């Protein structure tokens, strides 16, 4: 499947009321396992990728991120969307250059955040954030149909202002973003208001205490993702098995190991 075909397929999969379950993989093996399980599209996870390198989130370079994305693109036939953080640039020129490079990896899509990385002012002012989305849209769309997801990071950084979040996402959609996303929302009422207020498919992050997939579908959500959750589940399983073996001297963890081996059997050549 060509890159434009994957991008077109990816956008079609965003179905309001019948959300795409966008599973986040962190290496070639997990991408292939998730594909073999029947997921229709995949995404990277910046935290999961950083973890494979022994680093915390937001400590991966643009080159490393794009190389990782290219490897996952080649791993399956599924559309892949990349977590591209804030585009790895503050300037409009840098954003444009980096999304052109992202498009060239074969990605079906990718995201851009309005998180600045500055602890004192974590969210870009709206005028700058909007200009950055416009630059990413112009660069990423460039003929390949790249599906750009614009993210409002308010609710991950202590700014629980749903009115501002909606206003930002409305502006990003009007600027050409194909999908909008406000990670951190858990109120089904706020999510429903967002869906009704924005003229673009809405992605929601699955979170503890948040709405179920059927509830999100009823609210009109078009896509649901898990971020780094699957990666952290895998790390928790590893730590639990290692702790049992080291501290208890037992090996009940083999029950999970057998399940893991069975999951890879249809996925690996």
Angstrom distances, CA of residue 162 to CA of 55, 79, 142, 177: 32, 31, 32, 19
Q: What is the pTM of this model?
A: 0.97
Dump the DSSP string for 184-205. T---HHHHHHHHHH-SS-EEEE
- Map out the domains of the chain as residue ranges: 3-227
What is the distance, to the nearest Å, from the Cα of residue 122 to the centroid of all Cα atoms in its chain?
Answer: 20
What secondary structure letter does DSSP report for 115? B
Taking residue 63's Cβ as centre, other Cβ atoms within 10 Å add up to: 10
Kindly give the confidence (pLDDT) of every residue in the chain, 269 residues in length, as a single tens digit, with 9 standing for 90 and above: 788 899 999 999 999 999 999 999 999 999 999 999 999 999 999 999 999 999 999 999 999 999 999 999 999 999 999 999 999 999 999 999 999 999 999 999 999 999 999 999 999 999 999 999 999 999 999 867 899 999 999 999 999 999 999 999 999 999 999 999 999 999 999 999 999 999 999 999 999 999 999 999 999 999 999 999 999 999 999 999 999 999 999 999 999 999 999 999 999 98
Report the distance separating Cα 134 and Cα 200, nearest Å.
15
Max alpha carbon distance in the chain (Å)? 59
124: number of CA atoms within 13 Å, CB side? 22
Reference 202, options 144, 152, 256; nearest CA is 152
What CATH class does 3-227 carry?
A: alpha beta
């Amino acid at each position: 499947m060509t890159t434009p075909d994957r991008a077109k397929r990816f956008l079609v999969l965003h179905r309001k009321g019948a959300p795409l379950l966008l599973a986040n993989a962190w290496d070639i093996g997990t991408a292939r396992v998730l594909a073999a399980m029947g997921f229709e599209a995949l995404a990277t996870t910046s935290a999961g990728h950083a973890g494979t390198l022994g680093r915390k989130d937001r400590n991966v370079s643009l080159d490393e991120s794009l190389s990782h994305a290219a490897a996952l693109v080649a791993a399956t036939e599924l559309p892949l969307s990349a977590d591209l953080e804030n585009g790895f640039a503050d300037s409009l020129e840098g954003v444009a250059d980096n999304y052109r490079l992202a498009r060239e990896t074969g990605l079906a899509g990718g995201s851009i955040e309005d998180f600045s990385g500055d602890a004192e002012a974590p969210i870009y002012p709206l005028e700058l954030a909007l200009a950055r989305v416009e630059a990413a849209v112009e660069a990423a769309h460039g003929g390949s149909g790249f599906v750009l997801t614009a993210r409002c990071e308010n609710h991950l950084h202590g700014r629980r202002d749903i009115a501002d979040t909606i206003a930002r996402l409305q502006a990003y959609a009007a600027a050409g973003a194909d999908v909008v996303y406000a990670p951190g929302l858990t109120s089904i009422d706020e999510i429903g208001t967002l869906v009704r207020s924005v003229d673009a498919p809405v992605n929601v992050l699955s979170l503890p205490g948040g709405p179920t997939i059927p509830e999100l579908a009823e609210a009109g959500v078009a896509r649901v993702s898990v971020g780094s959750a699957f990666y952290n589940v895998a790390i928790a399983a590893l730590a639990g098995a290692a702790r049992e073996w080291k501290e208890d001297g037992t090996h009940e963890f083999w029950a999970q190991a057998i399940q893991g081996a069975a999951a890879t059997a249809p996925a690996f050549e």
